[in-house]
Amino acid sequence: MTTPTAPPTTAPIQTTQQGPAIEVTGPLRDRYDEILTPEAIAFLTELHHRFASRRHDRLADRMRRRFEIGNGHDPRFREDTAHIREDAEWQVAGAGPGLEDRRVEITGPTDPKMTINALNSGARVWLADQEDATSPTWKNVIEGQLSLRDAIRGELSFTSPEGKEYRVTAERTPTIVMRPRGWHLPEKHISFVDRAGRRTSASGSLVDFGLYFLHNAQSLIDNGRGPYFYIAKIESSEEAKLWDDVFSFSEEYIGIPHGTIRATVLIETLPAAFEMDEILFELRDHCAGLNAGRWDYIFSIIKNYRGRGARFVLPDRSEVTMTVPFMRAYTELLVQTCHKRGAFAIGGMSASIPNRRDPEATARAIEKVAADKNREAGDGFDGTWVAHPDLIPTALAEFDAVLGDRPNQVDRQRDDVHVEARDLLDLHIGRPITAQGVRDNVSVAIRYLEAWLRGLGAVAIDNLMEDAATAEISRSQVWQWIHQDRSTQEGTPITAEYVEGLITQVLAQATRSAGDRFEDAAEIFREVALQEEFPTFLTLGAYSRFLVDEA
């Protein structure tokens, strides 16, 4: 597949099928009709007809829960679901074909070049990311689907603007696990009529899932694997139940056996950490495991406790490591919960990445990644994430040393782990906020947002891989430090005026080029970090107001 060059059209696609009428208003470029087929539109219509209202109910639940936490009601293990946690008998479906060994998974966006690189990487699994590593331009959403479709059929190729050709050459390619957008994200280029009779944006989750599943499920099965998904931003077992119902309906819709779909749920929100058993239970017929989504988890803690006082203020982002008490409690509970239920526990992604132009920086990155993966393997995780192909040998060596010839260590039960609610909420780290830490947050957030507005969702900044989750930490820390009247270690009060000065510095020092989006990025940062209100996700307002597709 080559990059489409034909001029777009804007003819709407509609369905007359019963239920909310789906309308596609995004530009229809070359080959988009291979994804936006009448069959696909009909399937999206059915998904929204059956599940869109429940999605809104679950999002309303999130708002209520955040309000309760903000008003002093800490999350806890639910009393009404204690019977699920106490029943030792039930198990999840576990690994599907091609998911038995997940010791190293590579993550990344789904453009043709990155798809080919991932499939040639030597990883066991590729997380094909339509969420935090993808800027949701219409081009990225649909052409990402085209990349996946072609790759699954062995038809993908790509020629760069410089004339370099890319093809899949690996004899054994990773098993694809696709990550659709979270429940909170809309798709503004596709609309439907909601339960109140209003035309509104479609669900990004249902669009991403529906298009990928309908076009590829049977081909994946024929290839000896299956339709597998990473589920992002879950906050409750009720949200997991909604996904399970989507899966069951979709399997029936195309006539494949119940339980063919396998899902790995990212535990990347604080409320979800208190419902791991329940989430596995609701998805048990379709569940392969849980993943420790570390960066979004940190963001979720800041978001939920941003107004609760100094006890809940975290220091510099670089000091919030996987070895601090609340992160240790969260990850150890995840491994124990997964293995008790026959589920895989997948570790998170180290932010450090190699720099081929800087051997010393590369050596430091490899050392940090090796230590991180050594800890995960030793804790009982069955696999882990990397964001760069050069880190696969490092991660693989650490897991090989623990696993040996075994494909996983699900049999390691971790009966030694005893985590209580207070352990998950022990946010004391005892480190300061520094002037450099504040500046780094401002710089990273603005530079990432600028790239995101140009269509890049995963960006290397200062030898770290940044995506939407790490940008969320950066801006939410700034917001919290301002509103909790924090000062830097050097004695400078962290105020909106102080941060404005840092914004000016970042813009002055940025490497500018024609068509850059730094001014827009700074404006978004001001809205999500300096205003009185705290937007729940920085991408929501940026998506609706600033993310513009090129014609």
User: Does the pLDDT at position 69 exceed 90?
Assistant: yes
Rounded Cα gap, residues 512 and 424, in angstroms: 43
Angle at 267 between CA 263 and CA 269, to 5 degrees: 135
Average pLDDT of every residue of the chain: 94
pLDDT in tens, 516-534: 999 999 999 999 999 999 9
Rounded Cα gap, residues 533 and 278, in angstroms: 32
pLDDT at 16: 40
> Hey, what amino acid is at 312?
F
Contact between 518 and 512 under an 8 Å Cβ cutoff? The reply is yes
β-strands 287-292, 23-24 pairing: unpaired
pLDDT in tens, 442-469: 999 999 999 999 999 999 999 999 999 9
Rounded Cα gap, residues 237 and 190, in angstroms: 28
Six token digits for residue 409? 């260590």
User: Does the pLDDT at position 244 exceed 50?
Assistant: yes
Rounded Cα gap, residues 395 and 18, in angstroms: 50
Rounded Cα gap, residues 494 and 501, in angstroms: 11
CA nearest 534: which of 218, 69, 183?
Answer: 69
- Please give the DSSP secondary-structure letter assigned to residue 351: S
User: Does the pLDDT at position 20 exceed 60?
Assistant: no
Six token digits for residue 479? 């917001």
pLDDT in tens, 264-302: 999 999 999 999 999 999 999 999 999 999 999 999 999
- Please give the DSSP secondary-structure letter assigned to residue 381: -
SS3 of 231, please?
strand
User: Does the pLDDT at position 1 exceed 50?
Assistant: no
- Please give the DSSP secondary-structure letter assigned to residue 21: P
pLDDT in tens, 133-172: 999 999 999 999 999 999 999 999 999 999 999 999 999 9
pLDDT at 266: 98
pLDDT at 357: 87
Give the pLDDT band (50/70/90) at residue 486. Answer: very high
Q: In the beta sheet, which residues pair with residue 289?
A: 264, 344
Rounded Cα gap, residues 355 and 533, in angstroms: 38
β-strands 125-129, 287-292 pairing: unpaired
Rounded Cα gap, residues 545 and 531, in angstroms: 17
Contact between 337 and 280 under an 8 Å Cβ cutoff? The reply is yes
pLDDT at 13: 47
User: Taking the chain, what is the end-to-end CA distance rounded to the nearest angstrom?
Assistant: 20
SS3 of 159, please?
strand
Q: What percent of the chain has pLDDT over 90?
A: 91
State the CB neighbour count (10 A cutoff) for residue 497: 10
Contact between 26 and 190 under an 8 Å Cβ cutoff? The reply is yes
SS3 of 125, please?
strand
pLDDT at 71: 95
Phi–psi pair at 233, nearest 5 degrees: 65, 20
User: Does the pLDDT at position 404 exceed 70?
Assistant: yes
β-strands 287-292, 344-349 pairing: parallel
Give the torsion sign (CA, 131, 192, 247, 89): positive
Give the pLDDT band (50/70/90) at residue 97. Answer: very high
| Mean pLDDT calculated for residue range 87-108 | 97
Give the pLDDT band (50/70/90) at residue 196. Answer: confident
Question: DSSP letter string over 397-455?
Answer: HHHHHHHTT-S--TT---TT----HHHHT---------HHHHHHHHHHHHHHHHHHHTT
Question: Domains in the chain, ordered, with CATH?
Answer: 435-545 (1.20.1220.12)
| Mean pLDDT calculated for residue range 81-110 | 97
pLDDT at 544: 87
Rounded Cα gap, residues 328 and 470, in angstroms: 19
Rounded Cα gap, residues 344 and 332, in angstroms: 13
User: Does the pLDDT at position 5 exceed 90?
Assistant: no
Q: pTM above 0.85?
A: yes
pLDDT at 17: 45
Give the pLDDT band (50/70/90) at residue 237. Answer: very high
User: Does the pLDDT at position 310 exceed 70?
Assistant: yes
pLDDT in tens, 317-344: 999 999 999 999 999 999 999 999 999 9
SS3 of 242, please?
helix
Give the pLDDT band (50/70/90) at residue 3. Answer: very low
State which H helix or E strand residue 221 sits in.
helix 204-222
Give the pLDDT band (50/70/90) at residue 550. Answer: low
| Mean pLDDT calculated for residue range 398-408 | 97
Q: In the beta sheet, which residues pair with residue 206?
A: none
Contact between 35 and 215 under an 8 Å Cβ cutoff? The reply is yes
Catalytic residues, by residue number, are 179, 467
List, as own/partner pairs, every contact residues 6-10 make where C-beta atoms lie below 8 angstroms and the sequence separation is at least 24, other chains included: 6/30, 7/551, 8/551
pLDDT in tens, 77-94: 999 999 999 999 999 999
**Residue written as tokens 């599940």?**
51
pLDDT at 155: 96
> Hey, what amino acid is at 144?
G
Rounded Cα gap, residues 460 and 448, in angstroms: 9
pLDDT in tens, 340-395: 999 999 999 988 999 888 999 899 999 999 999 999 999 999 999 999 999 999 99
Contact between 432 and 317 under an 8 Å Cβ cutoff? The reply is no
